[in-house]
């Protein structure tokens, strides 16, 4: 079997990489074995170390806050848009992705397209989930836009309650401000 596909080749390469890292830590006094049984010199002083895989980012000290925004009024059978607005009150940029979940009032169904495009309805269309990448700076915001349709049977005039916007992020230090209600005013069609 060729050395390329053999266990000896795998362990030899692993030993070489491990030895190189040890040599960088120990300095010029350490020599590493080569594949042919000899010894390779340790890296010279001042030589740049080999790149090492980056560690996972540390959690930030961020504070994600949901800001209440009620959608524009709509008539029975009509449409409006829920704006799920979240801000980072900091002091740090978010280091982890975060998720917004929009819970819709009874008599309301989501109707795409959604923004961002990764939003999707779940729980029989009663909720919509959207994810945002890490990196939201302090005092900046992110918004998911969820178009919705009111059932033609909702009474007008009335107010549909029971809608919520909630955010969840692994490095959010204050969960007390992560959820806000919203209401949809139902008006008679003109």
The overall average pLDDT reported for the chain is 81
Residue found under tokens 């390469």:
13
For 115-127, what is each residue's pLDDT tens digit? 999 999 999 999 9
Strand duo 179-186 + 127-132: pairing: unpaired
Distances (CA, A) of 99 to 66, 116, 139, 162, 179: 12, 12, 18, 20, 12
This prediction has a pTM of: 0.70
- In the chain, where the domains are located: 3-40, 64-186
Four-point Cα dihedral 180, 87, 167, 110, nearest 10:
70
Nearest to 30 by CA among 12, 48, 45: 45
Q: CATH class for domain 64-186?
A: mainly beta
Average pLDDT over residues 26-35: 44
CB-side neighbour CA atoms (13 Å) of 182: 27
For 42-75, what is each residue's pLDDT tens digit? 445 555 555 555 555 567 899 999 999 999 999 9
Average pLDDT over residues 168-188: 96
- Cβ atoms of 170 and 114 within 8 Å: the answer is no
């Amino acid at each position: 079997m060729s050395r390329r596909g053999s266990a000896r080749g795998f362990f030899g390469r692993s030993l070489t990489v491990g030895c190189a890292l040890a040599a960088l830590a120990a300095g010029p006094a350490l020599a590493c074995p080569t594949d042919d049984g000899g010894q390779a010199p340790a890296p010279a002083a001042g030589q740049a170390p080999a790149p090492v895989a980056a560690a996972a980012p540390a959690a930030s000290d961020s504070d994600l806050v949901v800001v209440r925004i009620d959608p524009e009024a709509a008539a029975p059978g009509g449409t409006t848009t829920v704006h799920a607005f979240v801000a980072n009150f900091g002091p740090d940029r978010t280091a982890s992705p975060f998720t917004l979940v929009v819970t819709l009032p009874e008599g309301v169904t989501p109707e795409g397209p959604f923004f961002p495009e990764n939003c999707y309805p779940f729980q029989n269309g009663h909720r919509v989930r959207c994810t945002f990448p890490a990196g939201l700076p302090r005092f900046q915001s992110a918004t998911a836009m969820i178009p919705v349709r009111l059932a033609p049977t909702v009474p007008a005039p009335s107010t549909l309650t029971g809608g919520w916007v909630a955010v969840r992020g692994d490095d959010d230090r204050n969960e007390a401000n992560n959820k806000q209600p919203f209401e949809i005013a139902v008006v008679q069609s003109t």
